[in-house]
Structure 1
Amino acid sequence: MPPPSPSGLFRARSRSHGRSRPQNFGEVDLTPSVVDRLVAIAKPNRARGSAVRKIAALTLAVLGIALLFRGDPESDTVRVVTAARDVAPGQLVTDDDLGISEFSADHLPDGTLTEFADVVGSTVAGPVRRGEIVTDVRVLGSRLARESTGTDDARIVPVRLADAAVSDIVRSGDIVDVLTVEPDTPNEQTNDNKPTILASGAVVVMVTAAESTRNQQEQVIMLALPTEAATRVAAASLVNAITVTFK
């Protein structure tokens, strides 16, 4: 048998490596094998590596700026006083009525209280729900009087109304006029006592609960008024019957 030709030997060796080779040395194989593709991926590509580094550096820079403007997450929360249970109007606040919770500083209402000492012993002006943030206008005090009347010179005066049925329908936030009848100033034509308006635009800031008094005649309403009007109402309530009209 004659020996194999060089071209036949070349084709045999090519088939032994699992791929086809050109029929002769003048042909070029443009189809890469799987091995060639893996080798190409494994080879370092300087242009691609430079682009990846630039993108990574830009991403880190953006994150750094975002964290700088965001600040410390721990400093964004504030510990504030909250109600540990429902509290009724007129009730004196005790330690057991309060709790401490953390809230975002951006979502806190004005006048939020942060210390138990600012609330304990105060009288609640309106109903407070469990979990509610306690503010300075939820308890009786000078701030509540100022905010209710819109004047710095304001006071809160307690009165008992002559008609107990009126006390039952008065609610916190009502705006009323305070009236009395002067026993020594009768109307000349009818010989009836003439009503006198003691104060206009009084704001009801609290009404004691009926169940907290022995009878309806002892129910008290708290009115926020400028100092002069509050003094006049308080003095008249000592000697005359007091009632209110609603606006």
Structure 2
Amino acid sequence: MFRILKSPVPAGFPASYGSSSPRGPSPDAALTRRQRARAVRLFLARHRRLLAALSVAGALGCVLVTLRPAPPHTVPVLVAARDLDTGAVPGPADVRVARYPPGNAPEHVLRRHADTQGRALAAAVRRGEPITDLRLVGPQLRGEPGGVALPVRFADADAVRLLRPGDRVDVLAGPVPDDASRAGVPRDGPPPARVVARGATVLARPAGEQERGGGLLILSVPPDVAAAIAGAATMSPLTYTLRGTPK
């Protein structure tokens, strides 16, 4: 007869190792689960106040988020990113978009960088100042091809304030005193003014206080006409007649 020999159980393995009959978890495994459960209960018991505080804080955070008012409504406003001079054509680095409450935004303010493309400033602006449509001269008002921009000081400041960029004017100069007038010889009537420029386009009317008398305009005129106006301004006061505005 043959005897069936059992192989020895290796050290460290449970006694059920090699047995063909299924058995439940070992006592050691059940003990480990109980120890873990006990450790969790002890942790919760020891830190129950901290956990309760965290729960309350989380609930308050949810309430605050729910009750927080929505951010105020704003609108884009184009403002100068730095001080800009009269006649400058603002580029992307010269302007920026700010956010204003709707009630604080100026009327007819520009809102996009593209709104300034190819347009020159009719007056100087300070850093942070909103740029409106009246601050810019359109490309059609930048003068005729071959023309020049000429600063011209007129005698009557009130008359200058009536003009806007785009107006067309004739420039008149007072009569040049002759020998008879210098000698005090009376004339039959007042000497007539003379026209030194016709159809000059007003490019800009610089804002701000005038350090001298009269008012200043920037006119677009041909180079030879610019020379005539500059020469007349050294001898006589200048005025203008309005020819109308472009349609």
TM-score by length of 2: 0.44
TM-score by length of 1: 0.44
